[in-house]
Amino acid sequence: MLLKDKVLIISGIGPGLGVKLAVEAAREGAKALAIGARTQAKLDDAEKRILEVNPACKVLKCVGDIRQEADCKAFVAAAHKAFGRIDGLVNSAFNWGTPSRADVADLKTWKDVIDTNLIGTMQMIQAVTPVMKAQKGGAIVNISTQATVKPNGTGEGGYAASKGALNAASKYLAFELGADNIRVNVVRMGWMWGIPVQGYVSYASKQNNVPEKTLIDSISTNIALKRMVTDDECARAALFMVSDYSSAVTGAALDANGGEWMPT
């Protein structure tokens, strides 16, 4: 099992990638998971699904907001107290913001997005690194987006800008924390078939009076695999980066997009 006996913190538990990260981590043998979200209901649902695939996995549920530094510190402290160590941190919490052209966007909304995707994520990292330094090792993976390297027509310039800043910060963290045996990597997600994208396709279909299959096919035609990869698949790619199988990898960006974007 990829994560046998690992203790992980996963932020941003929600109906899409967040809960899939938790479920797949449990499936891969994680010993304990500390999961965080802003609502108790999401955590309760995630716990149920975790225990269905791995009844032995211990689950700690923490309600909080990563935009609040105190919440981040409390989340990490609770996980460390409960499990004695923290092997990995998966930063999945995000704010997509309001879609708009960058040249006319309300930059106040960009600030809100940056406050979550960059500052909030950094607060989680700053909370966990003292624990990882003391135990002489750990792995951090930051969930990013293909939109940072491939602009598209969805109006997510603010989201991409926030994640682009996180990508750069991740490289600095990898360089600075390497001597403490702490690895920091990024996984850039493209289109992921799951509840959020299903909702978008349904909305766009009605707005444009176009069959859902037509929209799905138009997206899939630009993907090497000719299909949208699932959020389950993307979750497994991210979890590889906190596993011992990626022990030689830090400061890297893994593209989990089915081959829609292929960097040189």
Give the pLDDT score at 155. 87
Question: Which residue type sits at 58?
Answer: K
pLDDT tens track for 24-59? 999 999 999 999 999 999 999 999 999 999 999 999
Cβ atoms within 10 Å of 254's Cβ, excluding its own: 19
Q: For the packed helices 17-27 and 231-240, what is the interaxial angle rounded to 10 degrees?
A: 60
Give the span between the Cα atoms of 76 and 127, in whole angstroms: 6
Give the pLDDT score at 1. 86
What sections of 28-156 are H helices per DSSP? 40-53, 69-83, 107-114, 121-134
Give the span between the Cα atoms of 252 and 263, in whole angstroms: 12
Give the pLDDT score at 154. 76
Q: For the packed helices 121-134 and 157-177, what is the interaxial angle rounded to 10 degrees?
A: 20
Domains of the chain: 7-191+230-256 (3.40.50.720)
Give the span between the Cα atoms of 87 and 251, in whole angstroms: 18
Instruction: Specify the pTM.
Output: 0.95
Q: Read off the tokens for 55.
A: 């009844």
Question: What stretches in the chain show pLDDT beneath 70?
Answer: none
